[in-house]
Amino acid sequence: MAREKLAAFVDYENLRQAFKDYVEPTTVEDVVRAFEALGEELGELGSMQFYGDWTRRPQDAHAIEERGWRTANVLSTRYGKDRSDIPIALDIYDTAREKKDITAIILGSGDSGFKEVILRAKESGKRVYVLCFGASVSREFFTLTQGVFPLEVRLNLTEKLALQAPMPGVKPDEVDVSLAEMIHRLDSLEKSLPYVVRNYFRDKILLASQQFGETAEDVDALLDSARDAKIVDEYEVLNPQLRGRTVKAVKLNRNSSAVRETLKTEREKAG
């Protein structure tokens, strides 16, 4: 097979969200080296651009630029949601149409929203490779592209165990620190409020401290994990601001052993 002439487009915000799912700390330099290594394996990596909200992490942008690659600043939404997909898709499309010397694209995202631009790139005669975290990759990419490469394998990362409610008799220190603090805060709110609206809890209580994540998506992931583990229950209540509408509220599942053990430990410290 002839060596490829490659251009890489990396949704750094998309990749960065997964860092917390692995035991080993991951830096932007680690990610850059992984893309460089794949480029060398496939052929010659002529260009690479990382997309992200660099106003939030300028030091990461500097690290990328110092290695000779480019960064594109895409401001996140007011609530921290990444908006890089459209700029990436447009740049891939332009490259596929206009850069005759480029034979292949490396996409640094597993988001299914890139399906159409992958098809457009292939129509322009470009091959497409994907390097991203395996858990986030769209299944369609395995057939649409020339290859999907799990980033966690290339970085030798160890995935954290799926969040589960501890079994009876679990030691308190086995409960994740962020989760334990979230349990304490929700317990406190439930004692003073008739109900706790999920968005209020996320934005005003958890997100405000950044202990639970840098964006609303980070905190939503924590709350979703707690819900899936039966640590937190969700239910609908009437919206006090919009008559006839409902909002999602959260409450502790006090039958959960994780909740019982966490609150028991707090009471023992206080006593």
**Percent of the chain having pLDDT more than 90?**
49
Beta bridge pairs of residue 52: 73
Residue 178: give the domain boundaries.
172-270
**How far apart are alpha carbons 269 and 271 in whole angstroms?**
5
Q: What is the pLDDT of residue 139?
A: 82
Residue 112 forms part of a structural domain:
yes
Per-residue pLDDT, averaged over 26-37, amounts to: 96
Would the pLDDT of 95 be above 80?
yes
Q: Cα 70 to the chain's mean position, in Å? A: 22
Per-residue pLDDT, 36: 97
Q: Are residues 197 and 223 in the same domain?
A: yes
The verdict on 250 and 212 lying in the same domain is: yes
Residue 166's pLDDT band (boundaries 50, 70, 90)? very low
Does position 172 have pLDDT exceeding 50, yes or no? no
Q: Is residue 258 part of a domain?
A: yes
Burial code (b: 16+ CB inside 10 Å, e: under 16) for 231-266 equals bbeeeeeeeeeeeeeebebbebbeebbbbbbbbebe
Q: Return the pLDDT at 50.
A: 98
Residue 94: predicted pLDDT: 97
* Residues 107, 103, 39: CA angle, nearest 5 degrees: 50
Query: What pLDDT does residue 105 have?
Result: 97
Indicate whether 38 and 79 sit together in one domain: yes
Answer yes or no: do 66 and 120 share one domain: yes
- Is 186 part of any domain? yes
The pLDDT of residue 270: 54
Are 17 and 112 found together in one domain? yes
Q: Are 190 and 149 members of one domain?
A: no
Q: Which long-range contacts (CB under 8 A, 24 or more apart) does 93-97 make?
A: 93/117, 93/120, 93/121, 95/7, 95/9, 95/126, 96/120, 96/121, 96/124, 96/126, 97/124
Identify whether residues 180 and 148 lie together within a single domain: no
Element (H, E) at 218: helix 216-228
- Assigned domain for 230 exists: yes
Rounded CA separation 227/259 (Å) = 12
Report the pLDDT value the prediction gives residue 130, as an integer from 0 to 100.
Answer: 95
Percentage of the chain lying above the pLDDT 70 cut: 88
Q: Is residue 167 part of a domain?
A: no
First-to-last alpha carbon distance for the chain, in angstroms, is: 71
Same domain, 26 and 134: yes
Domain final residue, candidates 102, 121, 154: 154
Instruction: Check whether residue 110 and residue 142 sit in a common domain.
Output: yes
Per-residue pLDDT tens for 99-152? Answer: 999 999 999 999 989 999 999 999 999 999 999 998 888 888 988 999 999 998
Examine the pLDDT at 185 and tell me if it is beyond 50.
yes
pLDDT higher than 50, residue 169? no
pLDDT value of residue 265: 67
The predicted structure's pLDDT at residue 165: 41
149 shares its domain with 50 = yes
- Residue that has been written with the tokens 């949601």 in this structure: 81
Q: Residue 222: give its domain's CATH number.
A: 1.10.10.10
Q: Is the pLDDT of residue 9 over 90?
A: yes
Judgement on whether residues 235 and 264 belong to the same structural domain of the protein: yes
Q: Tell me whether residue 159 is in a domain.
A: no
Rounded distance between C-alpha atoms, residue 111 and residue 85, angstroms? 9
Q: What is the 3-state secondary structure (H, E, C) of 156-187?
A: CCCECCCCCCCCCCCCHHHCCHHHHHHHHHHH
Q: The tokens 């639970």 sit on which residue? A: 212
Report the pLDDT value the prediction gives residue 61, as an integer from 0 to 100: 96
In whole angstroms, give the CA distance from residue 16 to residue 76. 14
Please classify residue 154 by burial: count the beta carbons closer than 10 Å to its beta carbon, then call 0-12 exposed, 13-18 middle and 19+ buried: middle
Tally of structural domains, the chain: 2
* 117 occurs within a structural domain: yes
Domain CATH code at residue 19: 3.40.50.1010
Residue 267 has what pLDDT? 61
| Residue 164: pLDDT over 80 | no
User: Are residues 27 and 126 located together in one domain of the fold?
Assistant: yes
pLDDT over 90 at 238, yes or no: no
Question: Which of 154, 180, 200 is a domain's end point?
Answer: 154
Confidence band of 46 (pLDDT split at 50, 70, 90): very high
Please state, rounded to an integer, the average pLDDT across all residues of the chain.
86
pLDDT of residue 211 exceeding 60: yes
Does residue 265 lie in a domain region? yes
Model confidence band, residue 21 (pLDDT cutoffs 50, 70, 90):
confident
